[in-house]
Amino acid sequence: MVAILLATAHLFLDAGKQALKNLFKHPFKPLFGFLFIFVTALVERNSGLFPGFAGGMILGLALTFILAGFLALVNLLVDAKRFNLQETITLTTGIFSPLISSLFILFIAKFFLQPLLMQGDAQLWLSMIYAALFVFFNPLPEVIARKGVGGMDAFREALEFMKENGPEWLASVLLMFLPLIIISGPVFVLKMISSDDPLNVLFNLIRYSVLIFAMLTSGLSFPGQVFVEILLMALGLYYVFFMFLFRITLFEALNRTTRRKRVYAFSTK
């Protein structure tokens, strides 16, 4: 057990170092995340222009494309590539297809879960289902972004990954959520992960993290507060990118080997 814990800690350390290295290599690239947040807010603000079912579909497609763009930007950082608009668009469209097919499955699942809302304790059951989805299919974004797998295959791959690496992966998730837990409290984080499916939780995490860091000045009043809040929002954005760089690096490291091989490799160092 001690050997497993030490090998896992070493793996986390390596993934963290690689994530920081990629982040520092292109320090200004994460700032494009502000564009992601701005466009998301713009699309949602004008959602009333397309009412009804068709409008909901258009809004969903637009937000999915934005999320695909964010994952494409993370991919560029992981691969330590220079920012290239044509390549970013190509990556975005490549991620969009498996992403929309996975979201469609979640949409169908929600449609059949909707009758639960008619019952008395429906919200509790729904929260438990969403929390279970968050746990068992947590690496879904990495499967989609790095393997290009979508639909039922993406869910199957994510579940298989969790069967092999569940404890290590969930420990990394808890580690990455610690800053949010410290700033906003565990109740807020629990509510967020049990409020929607894993991919929409990811979407909310990107937006909320930036705002949560700015909340550090809540209740305070001092000269230059706006400037400080902007810096804190930028810090929140870098935190989001670091988290996803860490997750993808760890995902690929865990995917390449088994627990036994990791323990053996660590013990022979």
- CA-based nearest residue to 199, from 259, 248, 137, 126: 137
Residue 171 has a pLDDT of 92
As a whole number, mean pLDDT of residues 35-63 equals 70
Rounded Cα distance between 27 and 198, Å, is: 28
Give, in degrees to the nearest 5, the angle at Cα 227 between 224 and 229.
110
Residues 67 and 138 sit within 8 Å (Cβ to Cβ): no
Q: What is the pLDDT of residue 117?
A: 59
User: What's the confidence (pLDDT) of residue 202?
Assistant: 75
Q: At what angle do helices 151-184 and 198-214 cross, to 10 degrees?
A: 20
Q: Which two tokens stand for residue 70?
A: 């964010």
DSSP symbol at 82: P
pLDDT tens-place string over residues 133-186: 888 999 999 999 999 899 999 999 999 999 999 999 999 999 888 888 888 888
The 10 Å CB-count burial string (b at 16+, else e) for 236-252 is bbbbbbbbbbbbbbbbe
Distance between CA atoms of residues 225 and 218, nearest Å: 10
Q: Among 72, 139, 132, which residue's Cα sits nearest to residue 102?
A: 139
Report how far residue 68's alpha carbon sits from residue 141's, in angstroms, rounded to the nearest whole number: 10
Residue in this structure with the two tokens 């690689």, named with its chain if needed: 18
In this predicted structure, the answer to whether residue 28 has a pLDDT above a threshold of 70 is yes
pLDDT-derived band of residue 116, with 50, 70 and 90 as boundaries? Answer: low
For residues 102 and 140, is the Cβ–Cβ distance under 8 A?
yes
Nearest CA among 193, 172, 164, 117 for reference residue 262: 164
Q: Tokens representing 222? A: 């001092």
Q: Which domain holds residue 195?
A: 2-267
| CA gap 242, 237 in Å, rounded | 9
DSSP secondary structure code for residue 32 in this structure: G
Percent of the chain scoring above 70 in pLDDT:
87
Predicted local distance difference test score (pLDDT) of residue 162: 94
**For residues 105-120, average pLDDT:** 73
Mean pLDDT value of segment 61-68: 85
| Whether the predicted pLDDT of 54 surpasses 70 | no
Q: What is the pLDDT of residue 119?
A: 63
Check residue 58 and give its pLDDT. Answer: 75
What's CA 44's distance to the chain center, in Å? 20
Say what the pLDDT of residue 252 is: 93
- Tens-digit pLDDT profile for residues 190-243: 877 877 777 777 777 777 777 777 776 766 677 777 788 788 888 888 888 899
Separation between Cα atoms, residue 26 and residue 208, nearest integer Å? 23
246 pLDDT tier (thresholds 50, 70, 90): very high
**pTM of the predicted model as reported, rounded to 2 decimal places:** 0.85
Buried b (16+ CB within 10 A) or exposed e, 206-217: bbbbbebbbeee
How many domains, in total, are found in the chain? 1
